[in-house]
């Protein structure tokens, strides 16, 4: 068996699991909020001509069917999006009850869940950035070296072929992991936070007019939703990699800090 090495320090492990809880609840409560007005616009307001996405229902053969419209395109998503099965049969709702918090249509409670865990995520994120900068974690573990930049093509090819580093190479994040983590931490997550702040009249009053930098409140809502979907895509890939590179080994490393190096 390979060598057991100490890979993740305690602050990283704690902040990782806080992020897991926050992101799951934020996603599910955010979809609950979206259900109250299941459409997105690219404008300062919500005119029909500026709509870029809508999850709704349409009548077909005397029955209501769920559809998703993206720009001029329409897709039949009945049974999942727009019209899904609930406690009392088929229900007209954008996202189904099993993926929202709370399950029933309850906007006020969804907002309470969302705002509480949003601020917890922000506090945890600030703590992570500060720890990353002052502990050397950024330079030591996240910033790719010059040699790793030169090997980005090989790393991409290996990932597509499901070939993963072994031996000494496995001790450090590869260049694609570094790029992904840096993009999420310093790009996608800040955009999600800014988009969320831009939808709050109270936050807008602190610095009047700054919401216009994002294209207006409705455009900020679209950016917020789009960045959240990018985060979901990242998490899907992340979980896939965790499973195929050794689920037990990876979970142990994020719980105890110790990771067994592949031979």
100 vs 104, higher pLDDT = 100
**How many angstroms separate the most distant Cα atoms in the chain?**
65
Convert the pLDDT of each residue in 68-95 to its tens digit.
999 999 999 999 999 988 767 788 899 9
pLDDT at residue 24, rounded to an integer: 96
Can you tell me the mean pLDDT for 229-244? 94
Quick check: 67 and 75 in contact, CB under 8 A? yes
Can you tell me the mean pLDDT for 126-145? 85
Which H or E element spans position 203?
helix 201-206
Nearest to 46 by CA among 229, 202, 221: 221
Is 80 exceeded by the pLDDT of residue 263? no
Convert the pLDDT of each residue in 7-17 to its tens digit.
888 999 999 99
Distance CA(51)–CA(218), nearest Å, equals: 10
Distance CA(55)–CA(191), nearest Å, equals: 23
pLDDT at residue 204, rounded to an integer: 75
Band (224; pLDDT cuts 50, 70, 90): very high
Quick check: 86 and 98 in contact, CB under 8 A? no
Give the SS3 label for residue 27. Answer: helix
Convert the pLDDT of each residue in 102-130 to its tens digit.
888 889 999 999 999 999 999 999 999 99
Can you tell me the mean pLDDT for 40-63? 89
Is 70 exceeded by the pLDDT of residue 244? yes
The DSSP annotation for 108-139 comes to HHHHHHHHHHHHHHHHHHHHHHHHHHHHSHII
Is 80 exceeded by the pLDDT of residue 159? no
Convert the pLDDT of each residue in 163-202 to its tens digit.
777 766 666 778 888 899 999 999 999 999 999 999 887 7
Model-level pTM? 0.89
Tokens of 26: 């934020």
The alpha carbons of the chain give a radius of gyration, in whole angstroms, of: 21
Read off the DSSP letter of residue 263: -
Quick check: 100 and 29 in contact, CB under 8 A? yes
* Residue range(s) occupied by CATH 1.20.950.20 in the chain: 4-38+100-260
Percent of the chain with pLDDT over 70: 96
Band (39; pLDDT cuts 50, 70, 90): very high
Give the SS3 label for residue 90. Answer: strand
Please state which of the four CATH numbers 3.40.190.10, 1.20.950.20, 1.20.1300.10, 3.30.420.40 is assigned to the domain occupying 4-38+100-260.
1.20.950.20
């Amino acid at each position: 068996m390979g060598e057991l090495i100490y890979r993740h320090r305690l602050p990283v492990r704690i902040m990782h699991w806080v992020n897991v809880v926050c992101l799951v609840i934020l996603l599910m409560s955010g979809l609950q909020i979206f259900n109250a007005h299941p459409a997105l616009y690219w404008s300062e307001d919500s005119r029909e001509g500026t709509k870029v996405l809508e999850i709704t229902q349409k009548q077909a053969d005397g029955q209501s069917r769920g559809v998703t419209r993206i720009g001029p395109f329409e897709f039949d998503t009945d049974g999942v999006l727009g019209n899904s099965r609930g406690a009392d049969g088929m229900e007209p709702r954008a996202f189904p009850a099993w993926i929202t918090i709370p399950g029933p249509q309850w906007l006020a409670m969804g907002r309470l869940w969302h705002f509480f865990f949003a601020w917890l995520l922000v506090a945890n994120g600030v703590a992570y950035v500060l720890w990353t900068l002052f502990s050397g974690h950024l330079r030591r573990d996240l910033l790719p070296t010059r040699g790793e930049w030169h090997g980005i093509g090989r790393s991409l090819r290996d990932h597509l072929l499901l070939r993963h580093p072994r031996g000494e190479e496995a001790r450090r994040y590869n260049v694609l992991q570094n790029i992904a983590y840096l993009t999420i931490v310093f790009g996608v997550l800040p955009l999600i936070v800014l988009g969320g702040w831009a939808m709050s009249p109270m936050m807008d009053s602190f610095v009047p007019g700054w919401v216009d930098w994002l294209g207006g409140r409705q455009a900020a809502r679209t950016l917020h939703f789009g960045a959240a979907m990018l985060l979901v895509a990242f998490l899907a890939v992340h979980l896939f990699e965790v499973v195929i590179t050794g689920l037990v080994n990876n979970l142990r490393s994020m719980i105890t800090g110790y990771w067994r190096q592949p031979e």
